[in-house]
Structure 1
């Protein structure tokens, strides 16, 4: 499979571009991968913003039902939805002015990747920031 998001792009998103991370699919379900990844991002100094239909507060941060409802700038949109829904989230991230989109392990939509990067928004696909962050050291 093709790699989407070279090492330089990964590093740029995890450092320069990525202070505020909207985590789509994040809820208080501690068994879900989104919860663990959000916790790792917080431990590395990132502000996480839960985005989930329940709009619940997670890890001390107030949640929103959609990206469009977030009233401040989003640096990175981290996507924890299945591949069939991910493209729509990427389009919403571009519309919201995000600097980058990150599709988690197993989330692949080549058309969304092409649209997002053509719009000038950095993108990583089929990788996990919780795995990549320790590799920066």
Structure 2
């Protein structure tokens, strides 16, 4: 299956409509990219939900061991895990009814794409959510028109 990125307009629409981002693999280490990206997204108005079974709290938010443990709806599942670990994450994202599955820069997986797309999720891989948000919504969530 040849993966085609959603258009910039589609990605912008996803970001505009999304408020809750579950971050799988979010580290409590401030020097890790997952922490820096999530901190920046939180500062721009997104509700960050850390998914890390080894921490109690990151960025002032309660951590959950899995996507299934999150008690609120999730708009985007943002993944900071190696490619080979992403198919089960896609299955969980489908099971919780997330709107999109977003694999960070450098992360790709054909099986994950098939699972996510077959499950009705918008699928984005090998892109940094912070970079896309900075380009498409430079003024942050508060300036984004609601659609």
Q: What TM-score does the superposition give when structure 2 sets the normalisation length?
A: 0.86
Once residues 81 and 60 of structure 1 are traced to their aligned partners in structure 2, the CA distance between those partners, rounded to angstroms, is 21
Superposition misfits of 4+ residues, deviation over 6 angstroms: none
1:97-112 matches, within 5 Å, as 97-112=97-112
1:69-108 matches, within 5 Å, as 69-108=69-108
1:1-137 matches, within 5 Å, as 3-16=4-17, 18-136=18-136, 137=138
Higher mean C-alpha displacement, 97-106 vs 50-59: 50-59
CA RMSD between the two structures? 1.5
Aligned residue pair count = 136
Gaps of 5+ in 1: none
Verify the 8 A CA contact 1:9 1:124 in the aligned structure 2.
no
Verify the 8 A CA contact 2:108 2:126 in the aligned structure 1.
yes
Q: What TM-score does the superposition give when structure 1 sets the normalisation length?
A: 0.92
